[in-house]
Chain A
Amino acid sequence: MAKRIRTSEGLFDKGDSPLKIAAIYAALLVACVISLIPIWMIFNMSLRPDQGLYTTELSFIPSNWTLDNYRVMIFEKPLLGWMGNSLIVSGTTAVLSVFVASHAGYALSRFRFWGRKGMLTFLLSTQMFPAPMLLLPTFLILSQFKLLNTFQGMIIPYMATAVPFATWMMKGFYDTIPVELEYAAAIDGATNLQSFYRITMPLATPALAVSALYSFMTGWSEYIIARVILTKASMYTLPVGLVTLQSAFNTEWGRYSAGALLTMLPAMVLFMAFSRYLVGGLTVGGVKG
């Protein structure tokens, strides 16, 4: 502890020379610029009055900028409808996936039961399925059960995508929570369900948050599955709707970009709000982090 207090004097690590600090800042700045350029491109295109890409201007904001694309997207195009569909699908996916994964992860972390190892291996191997391998039969099954173009037809495959990874993440995090806390509760007469809900689950908040974020984003940003399952325009989620604006010969880039920016914003805000959980809560493969 004494050491930690000593190193916390000053703004920088003791071992870092001024030259090294300058180099670190320079490298991080370059990395940030690279990370921001495509986002800035979308912002820039969304402000252009024309729908093409035909400008050689390299300014931060186009000289003839306008908010017209946003007006068109919000009031004339069905963007809000797509957003509503996406919210329903992603929100339900997140809530149900976290419920399923937090319980399964708890059992896999705390109990040694028949089939446990097989279940862990199976969940991990689902990550190896090439997307078309499940998508094709899923599509055929959904079409035979008349579930194409429905919310259920979207939510169930998204849950199947999100749950295996979320379960592993939850299991890895529960592993880091001392089981002795539950012994103490049991002495006071708590059942296992009570000690799980009142002690272990609240302590796993970072992992719950990361699982929720991961599951929500699965639905919010998924294009490849949605494109196959949704063919009716009124059911489009954001990704499918936005990409329809991009057709082979006449892409409405300005409007597309305005819509894309409005789609990105909630995702970016969520990520920033959750970013403090991401460092500790992200435990892959049961590794203690």
Chain B
Amino acid sequence: MARRSRSVEGLLPGAQPWNPYAYTMPALILMAIMVIYPLIYGVYIGFTNMSLQRFFEFDLIGLRNFTSILTEPELWEVLIRSIVWTAVNVAAHVAIGLWLAILLNRKLPGKSLFRVILILPWAIPQYIAALAWKTMYQHDFGFINLVLKQIGIDPVPWLQHPQWSFLAVILVNVWLGIPFMMMISLGGLQSIPKELYEATDVDGGTGWDKFRHITLPMLKPVLVPAATLGAVWTFNTVNVIYLVTGGGPGRSTDILVSYVYRAAFDFYRYGYAAAFSLLIFIMLMIWAVLFVYRNRADEGAY
């Protein structure tokens, strides 16, 4: 902390006042071209009726896209599904990732092999993993139903039934996201001094006491930003749902972003999709600001 405040006071020795601007220039140019300009253009398209048919001669139509989104009969259902999707996924990522990290954060012969194997779901490109899971969910010949049959359970209609399909896509995404949280937790665990635990041993504390009073509070500054970021990423995941169920059967597994992605690139409703994206972004922004404010997730981050 001391070193940080010292660099606040003045410039580093040997540095020029323009140095930080030179260093950040490439990033700024990139962001201006690829983020800010498309962002402004996207907002503009949100107020037009642009589509594949009206690709060049589209008109400004005011708030019509926004009113048609807000009166969409499925909107609330899809919104609630997105929230459930995000909450269940992130909770599972953190809980299982942290649990595995605790198991690995000890002396254990073969632990680096375990660690490498457990990272693999992160190493595989998501679209490949998604399609592998899709074959495993296949009704008559999929791996999961074949295994269930072996132990005498009736085949499950994984991709035919709305609720089962939703569970199916959640399982895929949980599987994909655990390694990231595991690695984050492992990094955090290794920075907790062993002496803290030994002090609890002296006081006769149980394993659960150690977890609640040492591990969790010490990991909070690592886990809260990671979970916040994880929640935003999960909320914005198109890959898994688009490839495993395509939002189906019907629209029963669509979350907001996969719904918008299909509106834009499968149904070519550009104006509508741009307006919808803007609403999602505003919603996420409000949530993030409230959440960060409540948890002080940015404590020390600046």
Contact = CB atoms under 8 A, between A and B. Distances in A.
Contacts of B238: 131-132, 224
B33 to A, nearest CB: 7
B78 to A, nearest CB: 13
A61 interface: no
A16 B102 CA distance: 13
A132 B183 contact: no
Contact of B120 (A104, A185, A268): A268
A137 B41 contact: yes
A286 B228 CA distance: 13
Given A39-B120, A129-B281, A130-B281, A111 B191 contact: no
Counting chain B CB atoms within 10 Å of each CB, the highest count among A3, A125, A185 belongs to A125
Contacts, number: 333
Contacts of A284: 184, 222, 225-226, 229
Contact of A268 (B17, B124, B225, B285): B124
Nearest to A138: B38
Contacts of B35: 126, 129, 134, 160
Nearest to B19: A192
Interface residues of A, number: 122
Main secondary structure of the interface of A (DSSP, over half): helix
B2 to A, nearest CB: 10
Counting chain A CB atoms within 10 Å of each CB, the highest count among B3, B147, B201 belongs to B3
Contact of B27 (A103, A185, A283): A103
Given A58-B146, A122-B31, A289-B187, A136 B274 contact: yes
Interface string B151-183: 000000000000000000000000100000001
A122 B19 CA distance: 20
Contact of B274 (A137, A182, A217): A137
B147 A220 contact: no
Interface string A1-16: 0011001101111011
Contact of A223 (B127, B232, B256, B285): B127
Interface in A90-139: 99-101, 103-104, 106-108, 110-113, 116-117, 119-120, 122-123, 125-138
Nearest to B183: A278
A39 B106 contact: no
Nearest to A54: B141
A186 B198 CA distance: 42
Counting chain B CB atoms within 10 Å of each CB, the highest count among A13, A25, A31, A101 belongs to A31
A138 B161 CA distance: 36
A186 B14 contact: yes
Given A132-B273, A179-B6, A264 B236 contact: no
Interface in A219-258: 220-221, 223-224, 227-228, 238-239, 242-243, 246, 253, 256
A253 to B, nearest CB: 7
A100 B34 CA distance: 14
Contacts of B124: 38-39, 221, 264, 267-268
Interface band, chain B: 35 or more
A287 interface: yes
B28 to A, nearest CB: 8
Interface string B187-231: 110110011001001000000000000000000011001101100
Contacts of B30: 100, 156, 159-160, 163
A25 B273 CA distance: 49
B70 to A, nearest CB: 17
Given A32-B117, A228-B265, A141 B7 contact: no
A120 B187 CA distance: 23
Given A192-B19, A268-B120, A256 B131 contact: yes
Nearest to A276: B112
A62 interface: no
Main secondary structure of the interface of B (DSSP, over half): helix
Interface in A148-165: 156-157, 159-160, 163-164
B68 interface: no
Contacts of A19: none
Contacts of A130: 236, 256-257, 260, 277, 280-281, 284
Nearest to B228: A285
B235 to A, nearest CB: 8
B274 A133 contact: yes
Contacts of B28: 104, 119
A195 interface: yes
Contacts of A42: 128, 132
B278 interface: yes
Given A119-B24, A136-B277, A279 B183 contact: yes
Contacts of B85: none
Given A8-B107, A119-B28, A131-B238, 16 more contacts: A4-B194, A32-B114, A110-B15, A111-B20, A123-B31, A129-B35, A133-B280, A134-B42, A140-B270, A159-B34, A163-B27, A191-B14, A223-B125, A256-B131, A267-B123, A285-B297
Interface of A: 3-4, 7-8, 10-13, 15-16, 21, 24-25, 27-28, 31-32, 34-39, 41-42, 45, 53-56, 58, 99-101, 103-104, 106-108, 110-113, 116-117, 119-120, 122-123, 125-138, 140-141, 156-157, 159-160, 163-164, 167, 175, 178-180, 182-183, 185-187, 189-195, 217, 220-221, 223-224, 227-228, 238-239, 242-243, 246, 253, 256, 260, 263-264, 267-268, 270-272, 275, 278-280, 282-289
